[in-house]
Amino acid sequence: MLGFLVQRLLQAVVVIFAMSIIVFLGVYAIGNPIDVMIDPGATQAIRQKLIEQYGLDQPLWQQYLTFLTNVVHGDLGTSMVYNVSVIKLVFSRLPATVELVFVAVMIATLIGIPAGIYAGYRPNSIPAKAIMALSVLGFSVPTFWIGMLLVMAFAVNLGWLPSGGRGDVGSLFSLQTSLVTLDGWRHVIMPAFNLSLFMMGLLIRLTRAGMVEAMQTDYVKFARAQGLPDRQIVFRHVLRNISIPIVTVFGLELGSTLAFAVVTESVFNWPGVGKLIIDSILQLDRPVMVTYLILVVILFVLINLVVDVIYAQLDPRVRLKGGK
């Protein structure tokens, strides 16, 4: 197991380093932030002073080395627009995104996996077919369109839920969150449901496919021949055997949900990191863009690492192969 873990850690470091180069080059090849920051009527001297202040007059490779050196020392730069540390700016918005994603993942898991189990256990029933039809809509219809429909239905027409914002914030273990107030839940439930739809549809289809295949295997037939109840067969034997692909997809979709909550946050005006990155792109705030993308890369690498470890625990063949 130790050899497997060391191998994955080395791979993670290489991936993060390679992606940092790609992200840096990609972001710094887009436009000139000085043109956005200063007044069009500013003199050339003022323009040149800002270029030198942010190091934009240096060659690109030298800018990257400076960036890398600062990262090693824990400095990811200062926002060109807000004039504050990028780390402080991103982490001030991160709790809102984390709580939105947390509720979305809980909704997707608590609905998606049981619905997939039922659809796989009784694949020819009418409720199972209805579940599969709804799951197709979950990852086929654009998120922003569903979000606007939810706003029109529950905020504008019915007036049951607010159309945007985070609501009242309370304190939980010294953390500021809206999940401890009723008004906060009224604000978070609609965007979280919208964000959960893609992951929910994927979990339903994946769980259903695994159930259909597993219920036809010999070990299920033998268990039934021994007189074991179907509930015990499904939850003690079948679910464990189909958990490997579910865990893998769950980990990948968790990273995707956290990284790409941009659309949902924009539709519902949720004050998270996604809304921040949209504003930063429009204003060409390069330090914020680079920091966000690097954090997304690290997030995906860490989630993949955790998924690999869980995968190895569930399937010893993977662990033994990694050890060799």
CATH code, domain carrying 241 = 1.10.3720.10
**Which residues lie across from 176 on neighbouring strands?**
171
Is the residue at 187 inside a domain?
A: yes
pLDDT for res 69: 82
pLDDT for res 4: 63
142, 144, 148, 153: CA torsion to nearest 10:
50
pLDDT for res 315: 60
Lowest-pLDDT range of 41-50, 135-144, 178-187, 290-299: 41-50
- The tokens describing 265, both together, are 């946050």
Whether the pLDDT of residue 29 is over 80: the answer is no
d(CA 235, CA 230): 9
Whether the pLDDT of residue 37 is over 80: the answer is no
| Distance set, CA 23 to CA 19, 202, 251, 297, 317 (Å) | 6, 29, 23, 9, 35
Whether the pLDDT of residue 258 is over 80: the answer is no
Lowest-pLDDT range of 33-42, 72-81, 207-216, 284-293: 33-42
The helix (H) or strand (E) run that includes residue 201 is helix 182-214
Is the residue at 214 inside a domain?
A: yes
Is the residue at 138 inside a domain?
A: yes
Give the pLDDT mean for 230-237.
Answer: 77
Specify the long-range contacts of residues 205-208, CB closer than 8 Å, at least 24 apart. 205/116, 205/132, 205/135, 206/116, 206/245, 206/246, 206/249, 207/112, 207/113, 207/115, 207/116, 207/117, 207/119, 207/120, 207/242, 207/246, 208/116, 208/117, 208/119, 208/120, 208/123, 208/128, 208/131, 208/132
Whether the pLDDT of residue 22 is over 70: the answer is yes
Whether the pLDDT of residue 323 is over 50: the answer is no
pLDDT for res 8: 72
54 vs 269 pLDDT, higher one: 269
- Structural domain span for residue 215: 86-282
In whole numbers, what is the pLDDT of the chain averaged over residues?
Answer: 79
Is the residue at 67 inside a domain?
A: no
pLDDT for res 179: 81
Please give the tally of structural domains in the chain.
Answer: 1
Q: Each residue of 91-142: pLDDT tens digit?
A: 888 888 888 888 998 998 899 889 988 888 888 888 888 888 888 877 778 8
Split at pLDDT 50, 70, 90, the class of 274 is: confident
pLDDT for res 145: 85
Split at pLDDT 50, 70, 90, the class of 246 is: confident
Is the residue at 56 inside a domain?
A: no
Is the residue at 72 inside a domain?
A: no
Split at pLDDT 50, 70, 90, the class of 42 is: low
Lowest-pLDDT range of 31-45, 232-246, 295-309: 31-45
Give the pLDDT mean for 24-38.
Answer: 68
pLDDT for res 268: 87
pLDDT for res 228: 78
